[in-house]
Every structure is written in structure tokens, then in C-alpha cells.
Amino acid sequence: MNFGAKRANPATLIPHVYQLLLTKRYLTSKIMPLLAALAVALCTAMVIVVWSVMGGFLVMLINSGRTLAGDVSISWPITGFAYYEDLIKRLEADPEVAAAAPMIETYGLIGLPDGRTETVQIKGIDGPSFSKVTSYDEILYWRPIDKPNEKDTTRQDLRLGKHDLWKQLFDGGKRLVRTEVSKVDGKAVERPAVVPGISVSGFNFREPWGFYPGLPYIRTTEGDKKPVDMFMLPVDGTVTLNVLPMDSKGRAIEMVARTFPVANEFHSGLYEIDHKTVFVQLKALQDMLKMNRAAKIDTSGGGVKLSKNPNEEAFLPPTIVSEDPARVTNVLVRSKRDSFDMADAERLAERVSKIYGEFAAAHAGKVPESTSIRILTWVDQNRTMITAVKKETALVLFIFCFVSLTAVFLVLAIFWAMVSEKTRDIGVLRAVGASRSGVAGLWLLYGLAIGIVGAAFGFALAYVVVTNINEIHEWMGRLGERLSALTGTQINLFIWDPRVYYFTKIPSDLDPTHVIIVLCGGLLASCLGALWPAARAARMNPVQALRFE
Amino acid sequence: MLQATNLRKTYLLGRTKVPVLRGVDLSIQEGESIAVLGASGSGKSTLLHLLGGLDSVDKVGADVAAPSIMFRGQDLTKISTGKLDEYRRRRVGFVFQFYHLLPELTVLQNVTLAAMTALGAFEYFRTRSAVRAHARELLERIGLSHRITHRPAELSGGERQRVAIARALINKPDLLLADEPTGNLDRVTGASILDLFTSLHKAGQSMVIVTHDETTAARSDRIVHLVDGRVQAG
Ligand SMILES: Nc1ncnc2c1ncn2[C@@H]1O[C@H](COP(=O)(O)OP(=O)(O)OP(=O)(O)O)[C@@H](O)[C@H]1O
Ligand SMILES: [Mg+2]
């Protein structure tokens, strides 16, 4: 039996015109459901902001981690491996490799001018080549700054004046040397120097605006504070490094101490690195660790040749048996591709592995086997940190999504009330021929519309917040200061205190895929909330609905 | 056109069964106008809802003759709910005592509502101008063409009922079912609404009008009395 024109496809998902029309009318004439839309908007905005900030934080961490590690690292810790120049030459011949650089990684003690001693990670680097595989140049802190820091409205950043000093420090930092005027002959000499992280010395106190003013005093060894004009390690400070050299068989020799001038300080943005790492000139560290090039001499003969005739007594030159080549613990490799892709890093690691294999074959027996050498990508090296932040992000997101479920219940409650209010209209719709599914579809469509409105506003809100997060944060901070002054109690509204988090700016990364996922989540939540009321509307008996007062 | 036989409808009040219709037989001829009279609570509305496919008859045991509503050879009590929706959409038009217009929609939208449910989105947009022209023509006929963009709240009771009649007619139904269409109106307004029904009947519209007003009933071809859940000849 067919009562009229057939519909092309009864199960069509295209809404009926009456559903669209009523949805539109309800949207523009009802206030309560807009509250549901607002809830959806706030929840989506909240999740997007959280995800963006956490995502930005992760990107920043990865970036910083990668800044000082290169893309792939070949390492043979403590004793190091020889012929690294040859390895570097082989690596740099590869079309995928942009550059490779040697490095020594060790632990040691640093003695600071105020008598403090700290354990630090010491990295011996050759400035120019290290700069080619990392962003070393970019993280040197003391350098000329022409444009003031965005937040630095009062121009208190030291680096804004005295250009010559900063230029000189920057140059010294790049090569890890400090030029000093010899007291003996008045000539300028370059001494090998160190570049500690900005937080190693404890003399740099970070302003909330992201820069370090000079310290007006230093603590003396006796424990009291000695006022100074402005104390800065790179200007007149020296530090002492203590390291424990090993011979090539891994036996500890005697502790070696050496005092270095400070050439500059670096600021990577990662507190873990900035307060625990000291760069030192590679050559100097090789010397200290006895990893430098040395002649192996035959100690059986040689020395002083004795003769009955004192005139014939002479120092015999020691017989040089062989040469012990210089060693390093790491060779860092940078890819030509400047991508964040983990797969790219893996591919590069494979190439490097192959090259090392050839290298090991060429120096068989003299360098670590290609099967036991450690070749790690930047992902591997930062895995704990990356996974930790990822887990944290996932956890926070989970919590926030859970909180956002309230939006579902709000939509449900409001729609439930609305379906009750519209009972008679539902009866009318059924009387003029709307099917049960048509009535359900109307409410679902309305839920979707609320979701779309909510998600759109949520996105707009999130966009505004994320793009202005630093301004908002600063405003909150100022508000906190004003409130503190008013109430006399300490109210700190700087959630992201750069003294803690160490980034000058709150990082954020508005990832389109994340945004789309969250917005779809918002729509889904809204539809989910509308589902039950829609089912109730569909189940209504039309006659009873029409009798409803 | 329509033969209803042995219509039974029982409501449950708590545990007690309240039989409202106890075997109603009614046949409607093409172009006929029938008035259903009966005391309040006699089941007039219930009967109308059954005829309009809005409600379902009782399920009966094998010992009683099964109720049936034959409409052009098809039994409404046996067809699927989808077909029943289709029947309401295209074959009948309801007019209620309390107008039951949707308050959010304009007069024109209320009138075209039934057409919107009858047509898919594409069909509707394809035929929209024709549907609207038809709606305007209906509103013209009932004297409301100047109220097209108004909301029901801005209309008087009589005007609302006219809109409701136009809505019922938009799909050119075979059968118009009116449940006390003048019950909520004053005498003069009610009379004008009845005039409208009379003119529709003259134009060939089959209709069933529920009322408890004898003068209203007198205008129709045939009067049916509902007493004790049955049709009393008269
Ligand atoms: N859902 C229901 N549950 C129980 N009883 C019901 C229900 N709907 C209707 N009734 C009863 O069925 C009987 C018939 O109702 P109906 O509305 O058909 O009467 P009516 O003749 O239209 O009355 P009126 O002239 O007042 O409109 C009434 O006694 C009513 O109380
Ligand atoms: Mg009634």
C-alpha cells in the first residue's frame, strides 16, 4: 500500500524541513538551551586551551632537548673512542648529514667563587663545530640585544646597553675562550674557558619578565655577603672544574682540578639542563681527562744514558712506540632535514649506524664494535621526558574531558525540560504526520545545533585565550599584585611563574587536529545529552501529548 | 471511502478497565459530512483519533470480531506505523478545539507544516514555491492573507482556528477531522468557522466534525450519536 509520493530513501539522513525550521526557531527563541551551548563552549574552550598549552610545552621541551643533543648521537661513555675525526669525516660525506661534532660528556664538581661546590654534567665541546649540530649559538645568554624583551617595558635588561662588552662575551662564548691581558707582558691572551648554564652559579636571579639583572653582592667563602658593583661570572669570575680521568681501560686515575675563566653563560630554557650543565673547551677537557693525543713511549730503555765519561752522559729521547690518539665520548650528528618527524630521526640513525660499521671495520680492534656502540636519536635521548609530559598531557586531558561531561548532563537536563514543555507541539507534529524517528531527529538536530553553536563559540574563546595567553597571564599577575597591595596579603596570580617554569613565555601550540577532535567531542557531548530527551519525545503517545495541558 | 467496524477502545485507570468505545461502526462516504454528537466523556475525541490513525484500537481475543478501519481497501489497524504516519500526512487533516498551532512558527509556516512533514528536504525545496502559493491561496480563502508573517500569539481565537483549518487542508486530505472546532469560540466567530466548513463541504470535502452543539450538527449530512460507547441510530 502506498498513500502517496514515495520518498527516495526512507532511512535518509537528510533532515526534514520542519526539523530544520523548528531547530532554527528554537535556537533563536529559547534562552535556556543557549546556556547549554555556553556550557559546551566553556568546556571545549577549556580542553582546547589545556591541550594547546600542554602541547606547546611538549614541543618546547622537545625543542630544547634537541637543541643541545643534535639529531643522532653516537656515544661510548666515560672512556670514549678514538679516531673520531675520521668518523666525522665519513659522516659528513653522507648526503643526509648536515654536520657532525665531537663532544665529551662527563660528570664532575664545579667550585664556584662563593665557595660553593656542585656536581655538574660537564660537556667538552668545540664551539664552532658544536654550533653546526646544535643551536648552541642561540642559547648563549650574554649577547647584545638590540630589541628589548617584549615584556621589558622598563628596559631593565642589562643586555640592552654596553654593546661592546656583550659582543665580546658573545664571541668568547661561541669559541669558549676568554681574552685576558697578561700581567707579565701586557699582551692579550685567549684562555680556554667554560660556559655554565645560567642557573649553575646561583648568581643569576631571574626576573618574572624573563631576564637576569646583575647581582649586587656575592657571598664570600666565610659566609657573609660582600657587596660589589655588579658581579657577573663572565666578566670577572672563574670556576674550578674537578674531573676524574680514566685510562683507556676504564681505570680511574687521580682527580684533576683546573680553574677556568667563564666566557659566557647559556640559557636553554630547560631548568634541568640550565642548572646542571657546564660547557668547557673540548681540548682542555681532553687534557684534563687524559683523553688527548699522547705518545706511547717505551719505558724499558731511554731516559738518562749513563756513561763512565761524564761528557758522554746524555738524555736519550724516549723511544716512541706508538701514538695514543685523542678520544671523545660522543659524536653528535645533525640531519639535513629540519623536521620533527620521529621516523626521520630513526632513518638517520640507521644511516649513521651503517657509517659507523664501516668506520669500525676500518679501525678494527681500536674502536668500539659497531654492535656495542650506542647510537640514539633525539627521541631516544629525551624519551623519559617526552613520555612523562605526554602521559601528563593525557592525564590532564582525561580529567578535563571528564569534567566536560557536565556539559552532557546540562544539555540533558535542559532538553528534558524542553521536551516536557513542548509535549503538545510534539503531539501536533505527530498529528500532521511526523514519524517517531522524525520527532527524535528534531531533538537530535537541535542538540547538534546547540553543539555547533557551543563548539564555535568555544573555539573562538579558546583561540582568543591561546593567542593572548601571555597577555592574560600578565594581566592576572598585575591584578594579583594590586590585590596584594590592597589586602596586605600575598596574592600571587602568576600561575606560570617563569622562575619556576623557566620559559619566558607560556608556550602554546594550537594544533588543528587537536582542535577538530575537541570540537567534534563538543558536538558529540551535545548530541549525547540530547539523546535521551529525544528518545522520550519519540516514545510519547501522540494522543496523550495532544491532551497535555 | 472509510468503513470502521467494531471499534473498541478501553483505557486503564489504575487496575480498572474503562471501556470508552465498545464496538463503534461507522462508514463515511466520499464527499459526506458527518457530525458526531455525544455527552462529554462519551469518547468522541477517541473515535476521531482512531479514524485519524493517531491512536490504536484494543487488541481483542479470537471470540470477538476484530476491529477494523478500512480506508480505500486498506485496514488501518493492520498497517505499519510508517504507513500510518503516511496516512496522517496525506489522507487526513486534523482540526482541534484548542487550535494547537506551533507558537514559534509564523502563520505561513504553521500552514505549510504538514507539507514539510510530507516531503523530504529536496522535494520540499523543489516544490516550495508551489506549496507556498497553495498556502497563500488557502489563507486568502479564509481571509487571513494579511496575517502571513504573524505569530499565533498575535491572532484572535477565530483567526487561529482558521489557520489550523488551512494547515489541515494543505495536503489536500481526503478526510477532514475536526474535534469541537468551535468549542472555544464565541457564537459569532464559531458561526463563521462553521460557514467555512460548510463551504468546504460544498466544494466536495469529506469531513467528520465532533461537537455537542445541535445547531452545528444540523448543518451536516448525517448525525451520529455516541452513547455508551456505541453509535445510536438517529
Ligand atoms: N489516557 C487516558 N487514560 C484514561 N482514560 C482516558 C484517557 N484518555 C481519555 N480517557 C477517558 O476516556 C473517555 C473518553 O474521552 P474523550 O476525550 O474521547 O471524550 P469526549 O467525548 O471527547 O469528551 P469531551 O466532549 O469532553 O471532549 C473519558 O472518560 C476520558 O476520561
Ligand atoms: Mg473531546
Structurally, chain A folds into a number of domains equal to 3
The helix/strand/coil state of A15 is coil
Q: Is residue A507 part of a domain?
A: yes
- Domain match, A124 and A238 both: yes
- Domain match, A194 and A274 both: yes
Residue B116 has pLDDT above 50, yes or no: yes
Residue A499 vs residues A206, A321, A349, A495: alpha-carbon distances, Å: 6, 56, 36, 11
d(CA A158, CA A205): 13
Per-residue pLDDT band for A1 (boundaries 50, 70, 90) equals very low
Residue A218 has pLDDT above 70, yes or no: no
CB-based burial of residue B56 (10 Å sphere; 0-12 exposed, 13-18 middle, 19+ buried)? middle
Between CA A412 and CA A426, with CA A443 as vertex, the angle to 5 degrees is 110
For chain A, the maximum distance between any two Cα atoms, rounded to a whole number of angstroms, is 137
> Crossing angle of helices B157-169/B107-118, nearest 10°?
20
pLDDT, position A223: 61
Range A275-300 average pLDDT: 86
Name the grid cell of A489: 596579603
pLDDT, position A222: 62
Per-residue pLDDT band for B152 (boundaries 50, 70, 90) equals very high
- Domain match, A441 and A527 both: yes
Q: How far is B55 from chain A (nearest CA, A)?
A: 7
Of B102, B114, B125, the CB nearest to A433: B114
pLDDT, position A300: 64
**pLDDT digit string, tens, across residues B57-91:** 888 777 778 888 999 888 988 899 889 999 999 89
**pLDDT digit string, tens, across residues A375-389:** 998 888 878 878 888
Residue B43 in contact with ligand 1 by CB distance below 6 A: yes
Return the residue matching grid coordinates 571545549.
A44
Contact A475, A62 (CB under 8 A): no
Q: Which residues of B touch A3 (CB under 8 A)?
A: 83, 86-87, 89-91
pLDDT, position B34: 93
Contact A141, A264 (CB under 8 A): yes
Per-residue pLDDT band for A74 (boundaries 50, 70, 90) equals very high
Q: Is residue A93 part of a domain?
A: no
Range A193-202 average pLDDT: 89
Of B54, B86, B117, the CB nearest to A16: B117
Contact A125, A279 (CB under 8 A): yes
pLDDT, position A256: 93
Mutation test of the interface with chain B: which of A6, A13, A17, A549, choosing the one with the most B Cβ atoms within 10 A?
A17
Which structural domain, as residue segments, surrounds residue B130? Answer: 2-233
- Domain match, A102 and A34 both: no
**Bigger pLDDT: A196 or A68?**
A196
Residue A341 has pLDDT above 80, yes or no: no
Tally of CB atoms within 10 A around B181: 26
- Domain match, A47 and A174 both: no
Number of H helices, E strands in chain B: 7, 10
- Domain match, A244 and A303 both: no
**pLDDT digit string, tens, across residues A517-532:** 999 999 999 999 999 9
Which structural domain, as residue segments, surrounds residue A181? Answer: 98-291
Residue B44 in contact with ligand 1 by CB distance below 6 A: yes
Residue A9 has pLDDT above 50, yes or no: no
Q: Given the DSSP bridges, would you call strands A238-243 and A314-316 parallel, antiparallel or unpaired? A: unpaired
Mutation test of the interface with chain A: which of B88, B92, B117, choosing the one with the most A Cβ atoms within 10 A?
B117
- Ligand 2 mean position, distance from CA B96 (Å): 9
**Bigger pLDDT: A131 or A232?**
A131
pLDDT, position A111: 92
**Bigger pLDDT: A298 or A190?**
A190
- Domain match, A297 and A269 both: no
Range A160-172 average pLDDT: 82
DSSP B70-99: EETTEETTTS-HHHHHHHHHHTEEEE-TT-
Structurally, chain B folds into a number of domains equal to 1
- Total CB pairs under 8 A between chain A and B: 103
Mean pLDDT of chain A: 83
The pTM of the full predicted model, rounded to 2 decimals, is 0.74
Per-residue pLDDT band for A10 (boundaries 50, 70, 90) equals very low
Residue A2 has pLDDT above 60, yes or no: no
Contact A270, A58 (CB under 8 A): no
- Ligand 2 mean position, distance from CA B97 (Å): 8
In total, chain A counts a number of residues equal to 549
Q: How far is B205 from chain A (nearest CA, A)?
A: 18
Mean pLDDT of chain B: 89
Q: Whose CA is nearest to atom 26 of ligand 1?
A: B40
**pLDDT digit string, tens, across residues A417-466:** 999 999 999 999 999 989 999 999 999 999 999 999 999 999 999 999 98
- Ligand 1 mean position, distance from CA B183 (Å): 16
Range B1-15 average pLDDT: 89
- Domain match, A178 and A224 both: yes
d(CA A505, CA B187): 78
Q: Which residues of B touch A23 (CB under 8 A)?
A: none
DSSP percent split of chain A into helix, strand, coil, nearest 5: 50, 20, 30
Range B151-157 average pLDDT: 92
pLDDT, position A313: 65
Q: How far is A32 from chain B (nearest CA, A)?
A: 15
d(CA A294, CA A297): 9
**Bigger pLDDT: A66 or B50?**
B50
Residue B13 in contact with ligand 1 by CB distance below 6 A: yes
Q: Which of residues 15-54 of A touch B (CB under 8 A)?
A: 15-18, 20-22, 25-26, 29
Q: Is residue A348 part of a domain?
A: no
d(CA B88, CA B33): 19
**pLDDT digit string, tens, across residues B191-212:** 888 998 999 999 999 999 998 8
pLDDT, position A5: 40
- Domain match, A270 and A313 both: no
Residue B99: CATH number of its domain = 3.40.50.300
d(CA A25, CA A35): 16
**Bigger pLDDT: A159 or A4?**
A159
Q: Given the DSSP bridges, would you call strands B222-227 and B230-232 parallel, antiparallel or unpaired? A: antiparallel
- Domain match, A104 and A231 both: yes
Measured in whole angstroms, the distance separating CA A312 from the mean position of its chain's CA atoms is 69
Q: How far is B33 from chain A (nearest CA, A)?
A: 21
Contact A289, A304 (CB under 8 A): no
- Domain match, A468 and A522 both: yes
d(CA B103, CA B151): 7
d(CA A194, CA A200): 12
The helix/strand/coil state of A392 is helix
pLDDT, position A150: 56
- Domain match, A182 and A108 both: yes
**pLDDT digit string, tens, across residues A347-376:** 889 999 999 999 999 998 889 998 899 999
Nearest Cα residue to A69 out of A272, A249, A205:
A272
Nearest Cα residue to A127 out of A119, A118, A136, A116:
A136
